[in-house]
Structure 1
């Protein structure tokens, strides 16, 4: 049993190493998150963000969310985090994306027209360690062409998407679970909460 865990651990470490290398060079990865499989890239690199929009065939007037590995990192990407955000993050019992006003230190073409950004603190093993090692926010958007259904697991991702990314993570490819997208909450600077998706 120990050998199996070691093999999985080694495979995951290699995937993380390779993913970080690809993203550092401005590439796009296909990877498992705390919800569904996603397309990811360096959230601070506008050229990499543009590539993700091109792969999804989506207008860049639509914003994309980012993943970070700890609540502390949110502060770096938001001008003023409402104090209620910390309680929401701490009490969340399922993946939750919070949309914050006044985004900073991120690629401009990633943000909504009003300058807001959706950030999720991931607790899933792979994406958390990936964010930790990359040391920057990572784009996370469903691995599908815009308008098509979001794939619940790796087996549902189209060959077209797989062929357009620079690296496909092998970790968790065989899992057949059907996770749901995260809940989405919008917070304005005064801390007013608006539920976008439960």
Structure 2
């Protein structure tokens, strides 16, 4: 399947408030426009997940990060520059995103991606992309497309037709950074 056609198809669904099932730089994810609270609510419902369990946003560059966070700790840039594996950073005081993806402690997890499909889709959206593993809350994270439950596949508005045969990498490392310079590793 043509990546540009898949980007077009996914973009059309997302701009109408739909949710997609798509390959990321780590595992298969369920996503939507991170600024659309109704679309975010659809993902919580599909995953049977409490809205207090926040989800992360994928971003494709500094401009997008600065649109969501006014203050970014210097160490965040160092971690992003030097991490060899996909790394999610949890940062303080997000703005310009749907309120229901912000954690109760006013933080948001973000990950910069280079994976071509995600990167180009966000380039077209000009907005961050919600990313959460393609499973019902509490179930194991699928390692490949064929491990994704039919309930998830039927519950999304569009399934991206790329990398269905690829085995996923491991979920990203998660590091929480506060504006007062505290660092906490949440998941290695």
Q: TM-score, normalised by structure 1?
A: 0.92
Q: 1:12 aligns with which of 3, 9, 16?
A: 3
Task: Confirm or deny that 1:85 pairs with 2:76.
Answer: yes
In structure 2, what is the equivalent of residue 3 of structure 1?
A: none
Distance 2:107 2:25 in 1: 22
Q: Would you say the 8 A contact 2:175–2:185 is kept in 1?
A: yes
**Which residue of the other structure, out of 7, 11, 28, is the alignment partner of 2:19?**
28
2:128 maps to 137
Looking at CA atoms only, which structure, 1 or 2, has the larger radius of gyration? 1
What residue in structure 2 maps to residue 154 of structure 1? 145
Matched, 1:126 2:111: no
Structure 2 equivalent of residue 165 of structure 1: 156
Q: Which residue of the partner structure matches residue 56 of structure 1? A: 47
Contact kept? 1:185, 1:194, Cα under 8 Å: yes
Of the three residues 187, 191, 198, the one matched with 2:181 is 191
Ranges of 4+ aligned residues in structure 1 off by more than 6 Å = none
Post-superposition Cα deviations, 1:89-112, rounded to whole Å, max 9, x if no partner, equal 111111000000001000000010
Distance 1:178 1:37 in 2: 7
Question: Which residue does 2:32 correspond to in 1?
Answer: 41
Unaligned runs of 5+ in 2: none
Unaligned runs of 5+ in 1: 1-7
For residues 151 and 169 of structure 1, the distance between their equivalents in structure 2, rounded to whole angstroms, comes to: 16
Q: How many residues align?
A: 188
TM-score (norm 2): 0.97
